[in-house]
Amino acid sequence: MTWDNLIEGLAPGGPRERPHPHKALLLIYLLKRAADGESNGVPFEVVERDFGPWLAALADSEAPDARLPFWHLQGDGGDAWRVEPPVGYELQKGKDRPTKESLRQLGARGVVAGRLWEAVAGDRKAARATAVRVGQRWLKASQAAAALGWFDGGGEAPAGKGGASGPWVEDEYVPLVAAYMAMLEDELAGRKINKAEVRRGLMAGALGSRSNGSIEMKMQNVSAVLHGAGLVWIQGYKPLGNAQGGLFREAVLRSAQENRIPRAAEPTADRDELDQSVRALLSLAALIERPPGNPVPPRVLGAAREEIVRDPNVTAYVLQRAQGTCERCSCPAPFHRKSDGTPYLEVHHLEPLADGGADTVENACAVCPNCHREMHFGEGSSFPLRP
């Protein structure tokens, strides 16, 4: 039996294909105890007192019960986890688990198989690497990041809502930035993120002395660093300047490089570069936020003539808005692109950019090639768009 066997052996909780996150979070709690040099064998009352608050902060249910993973982890990995004594408990009515009172009265304690415990006891690097595997296998990215933030931080009970004030320190950057990058990864993949859940997890862990508002503003500072570096950022965290110190910026950029955060689409006068940026934006599963565009797009001198700088975010937004249907004739796109299989539509500016038109979503529409040609050269060039 190895930790990997135990991780893979987690059984579903209830009528679900995946285990409840409670079991995975309990494993991370046990790994933290091992890394911190605690003795093997943890009384249920200690689990209830120390693990209960973290479970409440990090799990995705309203009233998580530390007793459930404590008891039901048995059997998931053979003899990897056992509760002592094994029998003699009063069962909860209609359930296959003991009551909390019975667990307390009999002094129940959970024990990790000796060989598993010895593999990580006092070895923070090995224990953390195992905790990472637990999170990657069974937790949402944002949940795993918050749990690892707690693993890296202190083990005391969650702080109240007051929170500390004053400058942030370098040790606080790691869990905050890791949680941000995990949320950004989810957003780019089109998965819903729960910012409040992540903040609660951070406040229950390494950032227990920080208030909800302080963490919220620091997340916006992360966005500001990414925005300043020309990288994408979480749309729900608008960039907020005045990020504290060079070390914070270095931590954000280092994490962005490690997580391969893509570059944001910048306005350009180069048609090939514009198309590449548009295709990259559309390849992301996340919805594109309505961009402000540019009411007066700048002009630059090209190799042969003056070129107009266009915002790929405007083009991508308009194409995504059309959902593969011409915004003039309401017909589906006539064909799909060979390169990526997306519906082929062209973006037309109602007031031409060459005549001083704005490069904004209000002045642009996605149309099929026939309508585009007609809008430029046909008698029906002034026909209205579909509502």
pLDDT 10s digits, 226-270? 887 778 888 778 777 655 557 888 899 899 989 888 877 788 888
Residue 8 predicted with pLDDT over 90: no
The per-residue DSSP string of 124-175 comes to HHHHHHHHHHHHHHHS-HHHHHHHHHHHHS--SPPP-SS-B-S---HHHHHH
Lowest mean pLDDT among 63-72, 190-199, 207-216, 240-249: 240-249
**What number of other Cβ atoms are within 10 A of residue 44's Cβ?**
23
Q: Which two tokens stand for residue 140?
A: 């949402």
Distance CA 372, CA 172 (A): 54
Provide the pLDDT confidence category of residue 184 given band limits of 50, 70 and 90: very high
Q: How many Cα neighbours within 13 Å face the side chain of 366?
A: 22
Higher-confidence residue of 115 and 280: namely 115
Residue 357's alpha-carbon distances to 18, 123, 297, 352, 382, in angstroms, are 53, 63, 8, 5, 16
Question: In this predicted model, what pLDDT tens digit does every residue of 288-316 receive, in sequence order?
Answer: 778 888 999 999 887 778 899 999 989 99
- pLDDT at 16 (0 to 100): 46
C-alpha 103, offset from chain centre: 37
- pLDDT at 14 (0 to 100): 42
Task: Give the residue from 55, 33, 367, 313 showing the smallest Cα distance to 205.
Answer: 55
| Average pLDDT of the residues in 328-357 | 91
